[in-house]
Homo-oligomer: A and B are copies of this chain.
Amino acid sequence: MKVDGVAWRSIAEDGPQAVRIVDQTRLPFAFATLRLEGCDEVAHAIGSMQVRGAPLIGVAAAYGLALAMRRDGGDAALAAAHAALLATRPTAVNLRWALGRLRALLQPLPPAERAEAAWREAGRIAEEDVAINRALGGHGAELIAAANARTGRPVQVLTHCNAGWIATVDYGTALSAVYQAHDAGVPVHVWVDETRPRNQGLLTAWELAAHGVPHTLIADNAGGHLMQRGAVDLVLVGADRVSRGGDVCNKIGTYLKALAAFDNGVPFYAAVPSPTIDWELRDALREIPIEERAADEVRVITGRDGDGRPAQVALAGAGTPVANPAFDVTPARLITGIVTERGVAQPAELVRLFAPPLVAAGGAGR
């Protein structure tokens, strides 16, 4: 999508030996890119959330593995790079999916051929991500257009976290639908959850402002009240991992918004590219590891000081005990539909839509 009129992707090849990413820890205050030349740099970028968003970290990890192969295409290096990248974030399944796909491709190849094959495959995963999210957003945009046709008013969408173009290679997932509706002339306004503790809502507000989509930033606490007052037509979020049955693991706090939507008869949709679906996953609440992140993400906050420079302030002292689970699970019973590249499905219909192969442990592509 565009920033100041220039088209960007969140990750792009920068010659044959490096990738260039948008450094998301500096947004929304500064738009800056970083050149990553090795697997370690990519792993650090994922762990520190310089790149974030389930689809994007899958693509970034694939490039990280390819960069590792450029230095050493041997079996040990492949195993080490796979393990290091997989350990960066435990919750999103795209990371495991992309790394599994590369490993399955590379293992049968002679070490000398792996670097080039990995690089090409990472590029394919990136292009597929763009195509999937463009298609998915088209289906989501139809939901927004239908709401507008029904009410005759601008459609009020509430979103949580950032499921925008910077969480993917381009377009985004939930926001792909918003962008495509907006670009098609459907009047749409987005309520943007701040999304504590990391405030990814500020990334969403930045994206929407850059693209010219009307929006309003709110505290995470406000969404239920807005739904009670009829101010939300639909909730649209992304996902980090989705079970066979359509349980949605997404940024912490998503479940609370799904409860409020259900209680107020507001449709709740998750926008889910198929690599985010974990077909092996049956009981999302029990089986998904929920990342516990650092206490200082809650205690310390980054903004801009009076001179516009990045600055941090402590909200609580180092002695204040903190818990910081990064994700929660929204049960399928609260979800109106899953928006995928193949159309919108009820949670229970996902399996029919994609007809995944029967699960075998360690199967190809995992």
Interface residue ranges, A against B (CB under 8 Å): 28, 191, 194-197, 199, 202, 205, 209, 214-226, 228, 251-253, 255-257, 259-260, 263, 285, 290, 298-306, 311-317, 319-325, 327-329
The one of B28, B218, B255, B302 that contacts A224, using a Cβ cutoff of 8 Å: B255
A225 to B317, CA, bound (A): 24
What 14 new A-B contacts, CB under 8 Å, besides A28-B316, A259-B259? A194-B315, A216-B321, A216-B322, A217-B323, A218-B324, A220-B220, A220-B253, A223-B256, A225-B255, A256-B256, A301-B301, A301-B303, A301-B315, A304-B313
Q: Given the known A-B contacts A194-B196, A209-B320, A263-B259, are A252 and B219 also in contact in the complex, defined by CB atoms under 8 Å?
A: yes
A interface SS class = mixed
Of all chain B residues, the one with the shortest Cβ separation from A227 is: B255
C-alpha gap A160/B243 in the complex (Å):
31
Cα A359 to Cα B321 in complex, Å, equals 47
Q: Are B316 and A313 in contact (CB under 8 A)?
A: no
Residues of chain B contacted by A205 (CB below 8 angstroms)? 316, 320
Whether the Cβ atoms of A220 and B221 lie closer than 8 Å is yes
Which partner residue on chain B sits nearest A263 by CB separation? B259
- Count copies of this chain in the complex: 2
Cβ of A214: which chain B residues have Cβ within 8 Å of it? 321
- The one of B224, B285, B302, B306 in contact with A256, judged by C-beta atoms closer than 8 angstroms, is B224
Q: A302-B313, A313-B301, A313-B313 are in contact. Are A222 and B320 (CB under 8 A)?
A: no
| Residue of B217, B228, B285, B320 touching A228 (CB-CB under 8 A) | B285
Q: Choose among B191, B194, B209 the residue that contacts A298 (Cβ–Cβ < 8 A).
A: B194
Which one of A215, A221, A321 has the highest number of Cβ atoms from chain B below 10 Å of its Cβ?
Answer: A221
Asked whether, in the complex, the Cβ of B255 is within 8 Å of the Cβ of A228, the reply is yes
Contacts A228-B329, A263-B259 given; indicate if A219 touches B315 (C-beta within 8 A).
no
Q: Is A209 a contact of B319 with CB atoms below 8 Å?
A: yes
Once A194-B196, A228-B329, A328-B228 are accepted as A-B contacts, the answer to whether A316 and B217 lie under 8 Å apart by CB is yes
Q: In the complex the two chains form, what is the Cα distance from A191 to B305 in whole Å? A: 31
**Are A219 and B202 in contact, CB atoms less than 8 angstroms apart?**
no
A314 near B321 with CB under 8 A, answer: no
Complex CA–CA separation, A225 to B254 (angstroms): 9
Give the Cβ gap from A217 to chain B, nearest Cβ, in Å: 5
Quick one: which of A202, A251, A320 has the most chain B CB within 10 A? Answer: A320
Contact A256 B290 (CB under 8 A): no
Contacts of A219 in B (CB 8 A): 196-197, 220, 252-253, 298, 324
Q: Which residues of B contact A304 (CB under 8 A)?
A: 313-314
- Chain B residues with CB below 8 A from A324, complex form: 218-219, 222
Whether the pair A218, B313 counts as a contact (CB closer than 8 A) is no
Q: In chain B, what residue has the closest Cβ to A313?
A: B303
If A220-B253, A321-B217, A324-B218 touch, whether A316 touches B195 (CB-CB below 8 Å) is no
Inter-chain CA distance A314–B302, complex, in Å, is 8
Q: For residue A4, give the distance in angstroms from its CB to the closest CB of chain B.
A: 15
Assess whether A252 is in contact with B303, with CB atoms less than 8 Å apart.
no
